[in-house]
Amino acid sequence: MKIHTIVNERWPGRNRNRIYDLLITATGSGPFDGGCVVFAQALQMRYGGDIEVLLRATTGQADHAVVRQGNIMIDADGAADIESFIQRFERNEQVQISGHRPIEPGDLQDAARDPDLSKQIAKLL
């Protein structure tokens, strides 16, 4: 099953507030300000795919964790083809993205990591 066949404009559906509450309570962050790795891990647990990072154009450093399946990327804003996804992220976050690559151990060091929290969120997706 591919992510983009499940996700639509209402995603993540009826559990959206519960997911945000879990993230905020456990990490002090939402899925765009420090909780993106936890959220991407939950997406991967639920739907598969590969965790990648978007690279900030000004620094070349990882800026945000996402899940990719083929030409589709997904985060808490939903799924889109890579080009549309990056354009949406740039518009919403007011940043320039130069590309993407698989996440590496040194990426997003300030982002929360909590496998148990990711499992809880995966069950709600």
- In the predicted structure, residue 1 carries a pLDDT above the cut 70: no
H or E element at residue 87: helix 82-93
By percentage, how much of the chain surpasses pLDDT 70?
89
At 99 the pLDDT is 97
With a pLDDT cut of 90, the percent of the chain lying above it is: 74
Q: What is the pTM of this model?
A: 0.90
- Residue 40 sits in which domain range? 3-124
pLDDT digits (tens, 9 = 90+) for 56-97: 999 999 999 999 999 999 998 888 999 999 999 999 999 999
